[in-house]
Amino acid sequence: MKTQLNSSPITKTLIVCASLVIIVAGMKAASAIVVPFLLAVFIAIIVTPIYFSLQRIGLNSAVTLLVMITAVILIGSVGILITKASIDDFQENRRTYPDQYSAQTEQVQTWLRQWNLMEEDQTFGDLIDGQIVMGYLTRLAGTIRDLLSQGTLILIVVVFILLEAATMPDKIRALPGLSDDTWQRMTQIVGDTRRYITLKTVTSAITGMLVWLMLKVLRVDSAEFLGLLAFMLNFIPTIGSIIAGIPGVLLAFVGHGPITAVIATVGYLIVNFGVSNGLEPKIMGRGLGLSPLVIIISMFFWGWVLGPIGMLLSVPLAMTAKIALEADEETRWIALLMGSGSRVRAAQRNKQGKKKR
């Protein structure tokens, strides 16, 4: 009777659910440690292919490791300094934004009243509250700044992961009881996760650079910070691009008026549409799509567990989970439910093709 109870599907499900609750509670309690560690892991996933490529061209392991560690430290340090400078620039300029916003809205109100498009007793503040967006930007800048204080810790963790990169596959392969099938699934999970994170980082970097260039041409304040924001939020499909565009348009309005704000809006639409609908499908394919509902749930869940940075990591984490679930026949149905509609239709076509055979 005891054996039957332990092997019951209900019992197994309850044990799994209880384990997940304990793990999530632990991650939430230790978010100050988990967030830098996850960032370090994602950075290491991106740079390890370069490490193995240098070895394949004939470089000694010690020399390759030294080159990679030096490059990570230099690039990471420069990135931290640039990010810190852009945030400092935004925080310095934001003190003047309320007065500039009031002056611009007053001009727009005067024009709208002249054309009888606004009542005399109505104010533009009833339609748009710039303070909400500025408060959101200030809090986000503070969060990024706090994370930068842990930049040294993140770089150290990346360095130690690189130190283990050369021997870790052999260590795992030598584990007793590890079958060839399990090893192949693990290799597939790591490879697919690396491909997704690397390509998503590349497309996000292109988005951030194009946004920075557009805002720089329009002479919008804090263009570097807004480009960084576009890079980070591009990891959240669709919603992230909208969230990143709001402060850029608002700062264009504050600094140069409604015409520049309209141009900035068109620029954001062109950049985001071009990268998300033109570039990403070509280099990433459509096979790794997530359901919009899964994206929303994942964003709120990881934001609750890990804070604001968890929202930025939500899609890579969901994508990693989906890839891991796809690698096992027993859990592939969960990955199918997490996927987009195009993935479900593809699976149905494959199923129908097998039946015809």
Which residues does residue 227 pair with via DSSP β-bridges, in sequence order? none
- Whether 187 has a pLDDT exceeding 50, the answer reads yes
**33-37, 73-77, 135-139: segment of lowest average pLDDT:** 135-139
Residues 2-43 pLDDT 10s: 444 455 667 777 887 888 888 888 888 888 888 888 888 888
Chain-centroid distance of CA 274 in Å reads 18
Chain-centroid distance of CA 69 in Å reads 24
What pLDDT sits at residue 1? Answer: 44
Give the whole-angstrom CA distance, residue 19 versus residue 16.
5
Residues 236-290 pLDDT 10s: 776 778 888 888 888 888 888 888 989 999 999 999 888 877 777 766 655 456 7
247, 270 Cβ separation under 8 angstroms: no
Go through the chain and tell me how many residues it has: 357
Give the whole-angstrom CA distance, residue 240 versus residue 229.
9
Give the whole-angstrom CA distance, residue 103 versus residue 315.
40
Kindly report the pTM of this predicted structure.
0.73
Chain-centroid distance of CA 55 in Å reads 30
Name the residue with higher pLDDT: 269 or 102: 269
Give the whole-angstrom CA distance, residue 219 versus residue 227.
13
Give the whole-angstrom CA distance, residue 162 versus residue 70.
11
Give the type of residue at 9: P
- Whether 117 has a pLDDT exceeding 70, the answer reads no
Burial class (CB in 10 A: 0-12, 13-18, 19+), 310: buried
- Whether 127 has a pLDDT exceeding 90, the answer reads no
Q: Which residue shows structure tokens 């869940």?
A: 301
- In sequence order, the 6+-apart residues with CB closer than 8 A to the CB of 356 are none
What pLDDT sits at residue 263? Answer: 93
What pLDDT sits at residue 322? Answer: 80
**2-16, 76-90, 117-131: segment of lowest average pLDDT:** 117-131
Render the burial of 319-336: b for 16+ CB within 10 Å, e for the rest: bbbbbbbbbeeeeeeebb
- Torsions phi, psi for 129 (to 5 deg): -110, 100
**1-15, 53-67, 91-105: segment of lowest average pLDDT:** 1-15
Count the alpha carbons within 13 Å of 71 in the hemisphere toward its beta carbon. 14
- Whether 159 has a pLDDT exceeding 60, the answer reads yes
- Whether 217 has a pLDDT exceeding 60, the answer reads yes
